[in-house]
């Protein structure tokens, strides 16, 4: 009896929290839509882990009904996507699925939802290809890259890559926040890797290095606009990936050298054009030469130990 009362009470509280967020989003003209996909996944994840997916369907249905009454249609879709992600992730936790597979599930579901909102029904959700083209030009100017002649043909590819990037970032955010909440609530959770243990295949580093050299070649070689646009687009994806990996490498150095306070400036440095190139090269070097592994072994064996 007490268990049922607790379950109903917690479900009601979560519905109330979601209702407040939806009402705030409506009063703010929908500016919170971009965070609904990952923020509102967290309550239903906790509820699913505690009581199972069948019990989670009840508050999920109540949240959707509440959304139909007090929010905009676009917000209802975002809420539906968030609830689907939350129930799937929570049930995966109950089934003992590995962290890697849970992260992949979240990224795939988020990718489908983002693809629907930004590509398939772009007009309904307020997205415009012309705005994407202008955004693409602004990105190239911010990074101090020359704008290729075939940039208009690159815009659809840029939109797709943007969807992938947003999905990956939202998936990682949901995964990490869910891990933190479940740990604080003392729910069963599998330990995750630290930034010192995250690795990618060495081949990824060589591919990034090749893309960087190809991009530099566009400055000296006479290529047609389509080829230059494709190389530039691939370089942009590589830049985001390599800079992120470089940030992990520098963060690892700060952690191992007890300078943790400098970690918080890395997100700012990642947007500085010239420092981006440095972080990119650090990231590529880490992929190829395993710099973090060498730093970790250096701490274990000493500065003059086995590096």
Domain segments of the chain as ranges: 2-184, 202-301
Supply angle C-alpha 74, 80, 83, rounded to 5.
Answer: 140
Residue 166 confidence (pLDDT) above 60: yes
Instruction: Please report the pLDDT score of residue 17 as a whole number.
Output: 85
Closest among 199, 174, 201, 229 to 294, alpha carbons compared? 199
At 215-270, the pLDDT tens digits run: 888 777 777 766 777 787 788 788 888 888 888 888 888 887 777 777 777 777 77
Residue 93 confidence (pLDDT) above 70: yes
Instruction: Please report the pLDDT score of residue 140 as a whole number.
Output: 63
CB environment 183-216: b (16+ within 10 A), e (fewer): eeeeeebeeeeeebeeeeeeebbebbbebbebbe
Backbone angles phi, psi at 303, to 5 degrees: -60, -30
CA distance 83 to 143: 37
Is the CB of residue 47 less than 8 Å from the CB of residue 14? yes
Supply angle C-alpha 112, 114, 118, rounded to 5.
Answer: 125
Report the half-sphere exposure of 2 (CA within 13 A, side-chain side).
Answer: 0
CA distance 79 to 33: 9
- Please state which of the ranges 27-31, 126-130, 161-165, 277-281 shows the lowest mean pLDDT: 126-130
Radius of gyration of the chain (CA): 22
Retrieve residue 143's tokens.
């990074």
CA distance 292 to 130: 42
Q: Rounded mean pLDDT of 36-59?
A: 85
Instruction: Please report the pLDDT score of residue 210 as a whole number.
Output: 92
The highest-level CATH class for domain 2-184 is: mainly alpha
179 vs 119, higher pLDDT:
179
Closest among 141, 26, 45 to 85, alpha carbons compared? 45
Q: What is the DSSP letter of 147?
A: P
CA distance 200 to 197: 10
At 175-187, the pLDDT tens digits run: 888 888 888 888 8
Instruction: Please report the pLDDT score of residue 207 as a whole number.
Output: 92
Retrieve residue 35's tokens.
């965070």
CA distance 195 to 101: 18
Confidence of residue 290 (pLDDT cuts 50, 70, 90): confident
CA distance 190 to 97: 9
Residue 147 confidence (pLDDT) above 80: no
């Amino acid at each position: 009896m007490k268990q049922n009362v607790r379950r109903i009470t917690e479900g009601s509280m979560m519905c109330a929290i979601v209702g407040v967020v939806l009402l705030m989003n409506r009063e703010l003209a929908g500016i919170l839509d971009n965070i609904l996909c990952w923020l509102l996944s967290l309550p239903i994840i906790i509820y699913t882990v505690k009581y199972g997916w069948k019990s989670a369907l009840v508050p999920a249905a109540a949240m959707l009904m509440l959304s139909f009454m007090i929010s905009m249609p676009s917000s209802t879709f975002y809420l539906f996507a968030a609830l689907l992600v939350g129930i799937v992730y929570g049930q995966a936790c109950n089934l003992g699925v590995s962290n890697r597979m849970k992260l992949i599930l979240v990224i795939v579901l988020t990718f489908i939802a983002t693809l629907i909102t930004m590509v398939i029904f772009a007009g309904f959700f307020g997205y415009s290809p012309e705005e994407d083209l202008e955004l693409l030009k602004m990105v190239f100017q911010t990074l101090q890259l020359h704008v290729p002649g075939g940039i208009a043909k690159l815009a659809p590819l840029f939109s797709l890559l943007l969807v992938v990037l947003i999905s990956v970032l939202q998936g990682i955010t949901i995964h990490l926040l869910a891990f933190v909440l479940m740990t604080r609530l003392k729910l069963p959770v599998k330990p995750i890797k630290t930034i010192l243990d995250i690795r990618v295949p060495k081949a990824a580093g060589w591919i990034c290095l090749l893309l960087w050299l190809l991009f530099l070649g566009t400055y000296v070689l006479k290529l047609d606009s389509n080829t230059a646009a494709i190389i530039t687009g691939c370089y942009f994806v590589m830049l985001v990936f390599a800079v992120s990996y470089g940030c992990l490498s520098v963060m690892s150095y700060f952690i191992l050298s007890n300078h943790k306070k400098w970690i918080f400036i890395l997100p700012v440095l990642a947007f500085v054009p010239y420092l981006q190139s440095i972080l990119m090269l650090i990231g590529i070097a880490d992929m190829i030469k395993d710099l973090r592994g060498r730093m970790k072994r250096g701490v274990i064996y000493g500065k003059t130990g086995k590096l």
